[in-house]
Amino acid sequence: MLRLENPDNVCYANAGTNALLSSPFVTRFLSSLPNNNVQLNTVRKLARIQPNQITNLTELWGIVAQNTNKDFNQDNRQQDVCEWIEDLQNTIETKLKGDLQKDFSDFFQMESTITYKCYRNHKSQIKEVNQMLRLPLMDEKENHLNSIDAILQDYFQEQRIERNCHTCDSVSALKSQKITTYPQVLVLQYKRFTREEYKIADQIICGTWLKLGTASYKLTGIVVHVGSSMRVGHYYAITCCWETGKAYKLNDAQFPKTLQDNELDEEIKNAYMLVFSKTNEEADVLSDMTIEDPTSPARKKNRQEKESMQSGDEDLLTPEYVPVRGRQRDPDESTSINEIGYAITSQESNFIELVK
């Protein structure tokens, strides 16, 4: 919960940094970084700052600009908060070494297997890694989707696409996506800005809890954009306390405003970005972590467990694997498209469950 001065139109950086640091995983990690790198010390200092103390991102901003070779604010236009978050993540990542670097990037990485299947059932698979989910607000037929539930269902839905089969002459394929590794910190961006940079101001219903496949998430950060297009307007952030669930509006250096439930609901509906943190076993590991020692046994144990889980996941990536829950298909079994469609539909209905 940072109160950040805005000397030079940097509300995008203020809001983005607050949203990213709203995750207890990220803040604990950054505040426990070793004191051996000048640039990382800036990040470490920010993560350790007392609530309500006013500071600014001038130093951090310079480090990110230098690392990404970007001249932010060159033409005094509003920058995209999403771009700032990515640049900040990448900057921190490049300054880290070895296990710490891997730990940090692992927080955000969502790994999926994309399966393409032609009508003769020839399959090919690729692995996809995302640092954040960029979610369209309209479906294929340009219907507006007005809840996170509908948006995620649409995003993960099986779809027919143009694609040449590597074995036969088929030019179309069914594309399906299966998440194999869930991120600890789930960063969602609503694609509110059109190619012409105009804004889709739809209100999107979302709760403070989210279930994605087998993982449960709690909302910790929100970024709201005020204004009619990407290049004008203002950003602010809201953080929800991990322990109490209390929500605070953080608008540059203003005193944080406590939000009532109905006010929080309204802010969520107008959100541009949402940051969720994974609950359950990770939360236990988090409480074992000590601030001073980033190489504590709990962290090492967590890493080893994650690695062994990941190597286990590779079994799922063999071509025989068909992403249908609770049923392993014989690869030679002939499958009609209708049958696949049904299997996926029934899976999808269980797949995304929103807890309000």
Cα gap 137→271, rounded to integer Å? 12
Residue 337 touches Zn ion, criterion: CB under 5 A: no
Residue 164 touches Zn ion, criterion: CB under 5 A: no
CB of 170 to Zn ion, least distance (A): 4
Residue 2 touches Zn ion, criterion: CB under 5 A: no
Site for Zn ion in 51-90 (CB under 5 A): none
How many residues sit close enough to Zn ion to count as binding (CB under 5 A)?
Answer: 7
- Member of 118, 152, 204, 322 binding Zn ion (CB under 5 A): 118
- Member of 48, 97, 120, 246 binding Zn ion (CB under 5 A): 120
CA 352 vs CA 8, 108, 268, 279, 345: distances in Å: 41, 19, 18, 16, 12
Cα gap 64→79, rounded to integer Å? 14
**Which one of 139-147, 165-173, 217-225, 272-280 is the stretch in contact with Zn ion (CB under 5 A)?**
165-173
CB of 113 to Zn ion, least distance (A): 19
Angle at which helices 81-95 and 58-68 pack, to 10 degrees? 80
State which amino acid sits at residue 148: I
- Member of 52, 94, 167, 346 binding Zn ion (CB under 5 A): 167
- Member of 15, 20, 145, 165 binding Zn ion (CB under 5 A): 165
State which amino acid sits at residue 339: E
- Member of 45, 77, 122, 191 binding Zn ion (CB under 5 A): 122
Residues 6+ apart with CB under 8 A from 152: 135, 212, 352
Cα gap 264→318, rounded to integer Å? 44
**Which one of 55-63, 160-168, 243-251, 273-281 is the stretch in contact with Zn ion (CB under 5 A)?**
160-168
**Which one of 105-113, 117-125, 274-282, 305-313 is the stretch in contact with Zn ion (CB under 5 A)?**
117-125
- Member of 90, 130, 131, 170 binding Zn ion (CB under 5 A): 170
**Which one of 52-60, 118-126, 153-161, 268-276 is the stretch in contact with Zn ion (CB under 5 A)?**
118-126
- CB hemisphere CA count around 214 (13 angstroms): 7
Cα gap 44→36, rounded to integer Å? 11
**Which one of 119-127, 128-136, 271-279, 334-342 is the stretch in contact with Zn ion (CB under 5 A)?**
119-127
Question: Interface residues with Zn ion (CB under 5 A)?
Answer: 118, 120, 122, 165, 167-168, 170
